[in-house]
């Protein structure tokens, strides 16, 4: 399978979100790289990094949606939760010794690209507008602080 190549249609044009999405893509590509090396320790490490980072991204994204008063936040959170459940089922199987990486990669690639292009794209206008006002309301550096909080 091929690496995911970042393309312009994946951009939300919210810089902090795009850099997080790119990082998730690079973790998926790392997983692709280690897949055939038959080293479960390395695979587990990449899987854990990918899962940890993705959970932080979801929490961060949800906080931006919440602050912006995005109307479909509950649905979006539910979509994140269902995906987390799906991935944790894969992790369980991995821990039981199964080779799940190929199957997981197919799911990750399809899910992520679809999610960025449709669900994430849907909050962009309201979140972008809110971020524009945020420094005035909450003081400079709010975004940096918030990133630190979720990615400590």
Nearer Cβ to Fe ion (32/120): 120
Number of residues that bind Fe ion (CB under 5 A): 2
Site string for Fe ion, 20-59 (x = CB under 5 A): ----------------------------------------
CA–CA distances in Å: residue 99 to residues 27, 29, 78, 103, 105: 18, 17, 28, 9, 12
- 51 class by beta-carbon count within 10 Å (0-12 exposed, 13-18 middle, 19+ buried): middle
Distance CA 63, CA 26 (A): 23
Q: Does 120 bind Fe ion (CB under 5 A)?
A: yes
Q: Which is nearer to Fe ion, 35 or 57 (CB)?
A: 57
Please state the closest distance from residue 31 (CB atom) to Fe ion, in A. 18
Residue 37 corresponds to which tokens in the numbers above? 């090396």
What residues line the site for Fe ion (CB under 5 A)?
A: 61, 120
């Amino acid at each position: 399978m091929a690496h995911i190549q970042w393309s312009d249609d994946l951009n939300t044009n919210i810089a902090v979100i795009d850099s997080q999405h790119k990082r998730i893509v690079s973790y998926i590509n790392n997983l692709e790289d280690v897949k055939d090396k038959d080293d479960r320790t390395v695979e587990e490490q990449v899987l854990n990094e990918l899962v940890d980072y993705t959970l932080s991204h979801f929490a961060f994204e949800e906080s931006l949606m919440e602050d912006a008063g995005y109307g479909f936040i509950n649905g979006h959170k539910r979509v994140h939760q269902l995906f987390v459940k799906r991935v944790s089922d894969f992790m369980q199987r991995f821990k039981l010794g199964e080779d799940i990486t190929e199957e997981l990669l197919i799911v990750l690639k399809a899910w992520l690209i679809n999610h960025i292009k449709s669900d994430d794209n849907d909050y962009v206008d309201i979140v972008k507008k809110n971020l524009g006002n945020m420094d005035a309301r909450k003081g400079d550096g709010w975004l940096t602080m918030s990133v630190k909080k979720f990615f400590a």
